[in-house]
Amino acid sequence: MNYDNSFLISPSIPQKRLQENKPLKLAILASGSGSNFEVIAQGIKTGKLNAKIQVLIYNNPGAKVIARAEKFGIPAILLNHRDYKNRREEFDGEIIKTLAAYDVEWVVMAGWMRIVTKVLVNAFPNRIINIHPSLLPSFPGIRAVEKALAAGVKITGCTVHLVSEEVDSGPILMQAAVPVLADDTPETLHARIQVQEHKIMVGAIVALADKEESSDIPSAKKARSPHGITKDN
């Protein structure tokens, strides 16, 4: 466990990375400003994270994350969910086609404000990660910060977890605890949680890379096509 002032991160974030191994091929899914996207991209640039962002997929035209992708020279693809009204599985199918086109191994939902369907989950089993602004299993779903304040908890935080069909319920990879102050508002508490989000998002990906190298997680060499047929990359 890492104690950072009044914050606690568990498990500990790996402090060193070996760069001679093949980088993880990531796709980032984002809906808004993309602060977590930038933290990941910066971690790659500085050598903290042995990975490559193959593509950014965003669903809101004009999202600020586009400018961040341009700054790092990363392809950005708009898939507007509004074009797939009441056809969520078809929308996820289009996401899968894009991921396949960019040879993606891992999917990172960094502020992706859409609920994924089994179509996407089954195409990348145990290879989609999400960050959520609470200590799961407490306060899943939307408005997690507001829910924590309403409940009167004294500690909340954020969680990086694998994505399953049920919202915010997959296996937990890393968490950071954040104290709730007496005068906190949703804005002030969320701002402090976001600082920790940036740490554990990169930390969780670093840990996944370590496990990938030691074969503690399923091999990335088998990826499912949009039609559910496995193929060798």
> Mind spelling out the 3-state secondary structure of 185-214?
CHHHHHHHHHHHHHHHHHHHHHHHHHHHHC
End-to-end CA distance of the chain: 36
In three-state secondary structure terms, 164 is: coil
Q: What token pair was written down for 95?
A: 């996401």
pLDDT band at 214 (very low <50, low <70, confident <90, very high): low
The tally of domains found in the chain comes to: 1
The pLDDT assigned to 86 comes to 85
24: Cβ contacts below 8 Å, ≥ 6 apart: 50, 51, 52, 105, 106, 205, 208, 209, 212, 220
- In whole angstroms, give the CA distance from residue 199 to residue 193: 10
Residue at 44 is within a domain = yes
Residue at 227 is within a domain = no
Residue at 16 is within a domain = no
With a pLDDT cut of 90, the percent of the chain lying above it is 78
Contact 139, 156 (CB under 8 A): yes
Q: Identify the active-site residue in 81, 132, 161, 198.
A: 132
CA dist list (Å): 162 to 110, 127, 226: 12, 7, 20
User: Is pLDDT at 217 greater than 80 in this prediction?
Assistant: no
Distance between alpha carbon 193 and the CA centroid of its chain, in Å?
A: 15
In tens, the pLDDT along 142-197 reads: 999 999 999 999 999 999 999 999 999 999 999 999 999 999 999 999 999 999 99
Residue span of the structural domain in which 103 resides: 2-11+22-222
Residue at 54 is within a domain = yes
80: Cβ contacts below 8 Å, ≥ 6 apart: 59, 60, 61
Asked if 132 is an active-site residue, the reply is yes
Residue at 213 is within a domain = yes
Residue at 176 is within a domain = yes
- Residue 217's domain is classified under what CATH number? 3.40.50.170
The pTM assigned to this predicted structure is: 0.86
Residue at 132 is within a domain = yes
Q: What token pair was written down for 220?
A: 């990335």
Q: How many CB atoms lie within 10 A of CB 128?
A: 22
Q: How many CB atoms lie within 10 A of CB 11?
A: 15
Q: How many CB atoms lie within 10 A of CB 45?
A: 10
Residue 49 is given by DSSP the state S
Residue at 17 is within a domain = no
- In whole angstroms, give the CA distance from residue 159 to residue 31: 18
